Chains A and B, each alone.
Chain A
Amino acid sequence: MSAGAHAILPGRGGLFGTLSDVLWRNPRLTLFLMLTPPLLWLGIIYLGSLFALLAQSFFSIDEFSGLIRYEWTFKTYAELLRPSNLDIILRTVSMAAAVTLASAVIAFPIAYYAARYARGKWKALFYLGAMLPLWSSYLVKVYAWKLILAKEGILTWIFAKLHLTPVLEAWLALPVIGGNSLSVSYTGTFIVFVYVWLPYMILPTQAALERVPESMLEASSDLGGSPAQTFRHVLLPLALPGIIAGSIFTFSLTLGDYIIPQIIGSSRLFIGQAVYAHQGTAGNIPLAAAFTVVPIVIMGFYLWMAKRQGAFNAL
């Protein structure tokens, strides 16, 4: 008998054998060793920086020397509530809301078609159709729109070919949303935001729609619901958690972005640009930190609402 001689075998020895025995006997030690590197990285480097930043929002800047005064104060928050700063916040939140709404409307038919009608190859195609733009380069996407929206670009050309140039001009003449050309107007900013964040809306909406059983829609029409009523009373409520999950992305990403409005848009600031300006050239880190608290608070509130709607199950 070779292997069958003993019921309990000796360890295989060596460093790994001994270490393996020790780790097996101490599952808590194993867990500790596994968690230490990621927790050190995320807990110390990331959370540490985040709290350091938030702490700085309670400092203030000395108006004469321009240096940071390390004393606890709410002065910076008072500054945040100045009309010009409130304007920035309001502008950003309105844009985020508009972008979210438009994304939901455009995403729904794509998600619905992919979830309900696309099969086999088409399904994969739809999935990749949302995945590829989601992952492809953010800057390239913004750049593409700079090309499209330029005064001499393809959009102006299309309007001219269709003899609709007056419509475009009338639109650009509108106050607030208009401007010199599309690439320096809110309309342009809005289009690019919708374009860049749209895939984030499609995927969760599709996931939610996939989970609606076919029989439920049949039951609704069986009970006399017209297609519109079925949509309104059955499909939409069931897809809502997915739409809300998607809106978390579109809303949060719009709130924090500072590159899109810088490249395509008017000179009026969004929160992200304000943060960037205050921490950079102005050197006013406390105010920049206070500005970052705004999206954190808004998103905290948003997430709390979303959680109540059960949107996290759709993520």
Chain B
Amino acid sequence: MRSDRNSRAPLALKIAAALGLLFLHLPILLIFVYAFTTEDRSFQWPPPGYTLKWFAVTWNRPDVWEALGLSVRVAAISTVVALVLGTLCAAAVSRTKFFGRETISLLVILPIALPGIITGIALRSAFNLADIPFSFWTIILGHATFCVVVVYNNAVARFRRTSGSLIEASMDLGADGFQTFRHVVLPNIGTALLAGGMLAFALSFDEVIVTTFTAGQQATLPIWMLEELVRPRQRPVTNVVAMVVVLVTFLPILAAYYLTRDGDQIAGSGK
């Protein structure tokens, strides 16, 4: 029974893998417990009691709503910019062979490969040199720059799997460039773009390092949280916000996972 033997893992390996996964997930779950604690001065464990009142308190905090609103707007616009730029780049790189393709891939990946502080300080000093005042749009400028790569990666992977003859077939059947894009290219890369867009949204929504350099007086939700971490004002509110952020970011990531997985199946069945 060869397959039996292969499918049974050594006990030590099982334990090490399980401990590793627990290490990854327990701390996040702990946040959920703290969101209900009655203690508001320290991080006391175990919590002396449980209450729902901090949800109401958080709900009535205008600064949290403002930060959340700003984060959503920044993430949405950055995602749109990243979708356009990333798709254009991916299409150019995968459809045509031209001099400098490798350079373009490197250029797209660079903003995320270099530490965020470098991107942040570079943009900040450039804004200073160019006398650009910090605003909503300077945040977008920074976020879109590092969001391009996730869209690009997803789109390039899908383009690679999509047979080039599909485009030729569409043109052969009378569709011009725009019609081919609308009826063949877009439906085939759609889920990959959606997944890339969701990841870009999650990335932007959560970004703090570059944002600290490119934001003026505005506080996105991560900036708000960082303020609370450095100079705590009302700890329970931070606990609740942290829990909400976890839940909000999980949804697009799960959706992106299922979208690209389904995409694989579609591409696989086409062969």
7 inter-chain pairs at a CB distance below 8 angstroms, sorted by A residue, are A27-B96, A42-B145, A42-B148, A128-B254, A135-B249, A137-B206, A150-B43
Give B228-249 as 1s and 0s: 1 = Cβ < 8 Å from A's Cβ atoms: 0110000000100010011001
In the assembly, what is the distance between CA of A178 and CA of B115, in Å?
A: 28
A130 to chain B, nearest CB (A): 7
The residues of B that contact A299 with a CB separation of less than 8 Å are 113-114
| Interface membership of A78, Cβ < 8 A | no
Beyond A52-B129, A147-B31, A275-B121, list 17 extra A-B contacts (CB 8 Å): A16-B176, A17-B176, A34-B91, A41-B144, A42-B148, A107-B20, A129-B24, A130-B24, A131-B257, A132-B254, A136-B206, A136-B253, A144-B31, A214-B6, A253-B115, A258-B209, A295-B118
CB contact under 8 A between A110 and B21, given known A138-B208, A143-B225: yes
The answer to whether B177 touches A259 (Cβ under 8 A) is no
The size of the chain A interface, using a CB distance under 8 A, is 92
The answer to whether B145 touches A34 (Cβ under 8 A) is no
In the assembly, what is the distance between CA of A132 and CA of B245, in Å?
A: 13
CB contact under 8 A between A106 and B144, given known A275-B121, A279-B124, A288-B121: no
The residues of A that contact B108 with a CB separation of less than 8 Å are 38, 42
| Interface membership of A174, Cβ < 8 A | no
For B146, give the chain A residue with the smallest CB separation. A46
The answer to whether B176 touches A12 (Cβ under 8 A) is yes
The answer to whether B7 touches A119 (Cβ under 8 A) is yes
| Interface membership of A139, Cβ < 8 A | yes
Contact for B89 among A35, A126, A153, CB less than 8 A: A35
A243 to chain B, nearest CB (A): 15
Give B242-271 as 1s and 0s: 1 = Cβ < 8 Å from A's Cβ atoms: 100110011001100100010000000000
The answer to whether A256 touches B116 (Cβ under 8 A) is yes
The residues of B that contact A31 with a CB separation of less than 8 Å are 92, 96, 98
